[in-house]
C-alpha cells in the first residue's frame, strides 16, 4: 500500500502519512506531500498516522465499537457517541503501540497499555469512564496483537 509523507498546516514540523494526498491518516488536511517513492515509514512522526501505517486500525475500531456497545455503562449512548469514543480509543492505542514499537523495536500489550493509561492520565483515575477506556484499550490491543 503506497503512502506519502505529508505535512499539515495545523501541526508544523510533524510528518504525517497520507494515502490520498488530500488528508493525512489522522484526518488533517495536507498542504504538501512527498512522492510515494520518496516516502519511508520511519520518517513519520505523528503517532496516529504511525499507528495507521503499522496496524489494522479499522479492525481494531470495529472491535472497540462492539465492546463499547456491549458495555453496560454505554447503553444509553448515541450511535455517534459510541463510534466517536471507540474510534478515538482505537486510534490512540494504535498510536501508542506504534511509538513503543518504534522506540523499543518491539511491543507487548502490557507495555502499551501502561503507556496509554499513563499518558492519558487514566492510571490514577478510578472513575467509571477511565475504567471503560482501559477495558476498551485491552479489547483493541487483543486485535492489534492478532493482526500484527
103-148 tens-digit pLDDT? 999 999 999 999 999 988 888 888 998 999 999 999 999 999 998 8
pLDDT at 1: 60
pLDDT at 120: 87
Q: What is the pLDDT of residues 74-105, one digit of tens each?
A: 889 999 999 999 999 999 999 999 999 999 99
- Which among 8, 14, 45 is positioned nearest to 27, based on CA atoms? 8
Give the pTM. Answer: 0.89
Grid cell 498516522 is found at 49
Amino acid at each position: 500500500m503506497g503512502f506519502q509523507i505529508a505535512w499539515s498546516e495545523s501541526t508544523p514540523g510533524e510528518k504525517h502519512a497520507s494515502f490520498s494526498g488530500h488528508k493525512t491518516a489522522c484526518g488533517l488536511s495536507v498542504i504538501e506531500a512527498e512522492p510515494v517513492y520518496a516516502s519511508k515509514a520511519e520518517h513519520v512522526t505523528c503517532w496516529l498516522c504511525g499507528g495507521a501505517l503499522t496496524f489494522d486500525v479499522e479492525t481494531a475500531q470495529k472491535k472497540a465499537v462492539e465492546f463499547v456497545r456491549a458495555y453496560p455503562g454505554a447503553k444509553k449512548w448515541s450511535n455517534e457517541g459510541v463510534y466517536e469514543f471507540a474510534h478515538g480509543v482505537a486510534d490512540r492505542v494504535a498510536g501508542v503501540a506504534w511509538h513503543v514499537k518504534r522506540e523499543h523495536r518491539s511491543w507487548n500489550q502490557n507495555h502499551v497499555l501502561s503507556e496509554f493509561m499513563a499518558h492519558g492520565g487514566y492510571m490514577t483515575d478510578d472513575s467509571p469512564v477511565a475504567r471503560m477506556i482501559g477495558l476498551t484499550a485491552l479489547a483493541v490491543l487483543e486485535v492489534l496483537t492478532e493482526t500484527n
